[in-house]
Chains A and B, each alone.
Chain A
Amino acid sequence: MELHILLIFMIVSALVAIEVKDLLSSVIAVGATGFALCLAFLVLKAPDLAITQLVVEILCLIILIRATIRKDIPLAIEGRWIFNTVATVAFIVVFLFFAQLALKELPAFGYPIMAVVKRYLQEGLAQTGAVNLVSAVILDFRAFDTLGEATVLFTAVIGIMAVLRRPGRKKER
């Protein structure tokens, strides 16, 4: 029940974030969505995810506010209103068609399949010595996944530095 309330809150704040005119209000509304997601992870029995989502959400908010502060431009009247809306709705309808095909195949909520993870659950403590099974999976059974994640993160840092760097050399006269 509390999951339904949280999800409806997330949907409302996402609608506010998309539709509000002021950019700073939009960023703060998307922050509200992220913190509701953090609470939803706690309800879903995923404490590691809740902690990570909290930290990541705060960092994202800081970066987004840095991007939008003092750049409050009024949104222009949108041209080609009908064409844009029809194209967007058509795309969403195509997406929903494939989504309902996928929804039929899903297991019922609350009864996961647990085919792969059964071995991890039974042998996790003996093989890795980690009490927390999530960290056993990401740091031992699927350690290369985490290595790839670190690679992606450092690549993103290099990209940010390359994009935001000021040219250091002065022009010689």
Chain B
Amino acid sequence: MTLYLLCLLLFCIGLYGVLRKRNLVKMIVGLGIIEYSMNLFFVLLGYRVHGRAPLDARNQDILNMVDPLPQALVLTSIVIGLGVMALIIAIAIRIYEKYGTFDITKIKRLKG
């Protein structure tokens, strides 16, 4: 239970970074931290005490493995996270080239 709470705390730190900071790079960093905490949370849900990695081996009981389903889903999520992160950073670089700043309050022409 303590681990779940620590994971939640990590999520809150990332949320604080996204909501409170005005620098675009800081917001991207906060988004990355949220992503880490979510991946960790799913893998924590599938952990079994004294379990072993989900690999078939001879003479081993099959039912004491950790849950492989969250691991498979998180594998997908990590790779998609890389794509999302690269796209966000590309947009941030483009904004910097156009406006010369990462400060979101100084990017005036985005306002409608």
**How many residues of A are counted as interface, with CB atoms below 8 angstroms from the partner's CB atoms?**
86
Q: Note all chain B residues with C-beta closer than 8 A to A122.
A: 62
Which chain A residue lies CB-closest to B51? A45
Given A73-B102, A138-B75, does the pair A18, B48 have CB atoms closer than 8 Å?
A: no
Q: Note all chain A residues with C-beta closer than 8 A to B20.
A: 84-85, 88
The 8 A CB mask of B33-72 against A (1 = contact, 0 = none) is 1001001100111111101111110000011011111011
Interface residues of A in 107-132 (CB under 8 A from B): 107-112, 114, 116-117, 120-122, 124-125, 131-132
Q: Taking the complex as formed, is A79 at the interface, i.e. its CB lies under 8 A from any CB of chain B?
A: yes
Which chain A residue lies CB-closest to B67? A112
Given A4-B6, A30-B29, A110-B47, does the pair A56, B79 have CB atoms closer than 8 Å?
A: yes
Whether B16 lies near A164 (C-beta < 8 A) is no
Q: List 17 A-B contacts (CB under 8 A).
A: A7-B3, A10-B10, A11-B9, A18-B13, A30-B29, A33-B33, A46-B66, A49-B71, A63-B89, A68-B25, A76-B105, A103-B1, A109-B47, A121-B65, A145-B72, A149-B80, A164-B93
Interface residues of A, Cβ cutoff 8 Å to B: 3-4, 7-8, 10-11, 14-15, 17-18, 23, 26-27, 30, 33-34, 37, 40-41, 44-49, 52-53, 56, 59-60, 63-64, 66-68, 71, 73, 75-76, 78-79, 84-85, 87-88, 91-92, 95-96, 99, 103, 106-112, 114, 116-117, 120-122, 124-125, 131-134, 136-138, 142, 145-146, 149, 152-153, 155-157, 159-160, 163-164
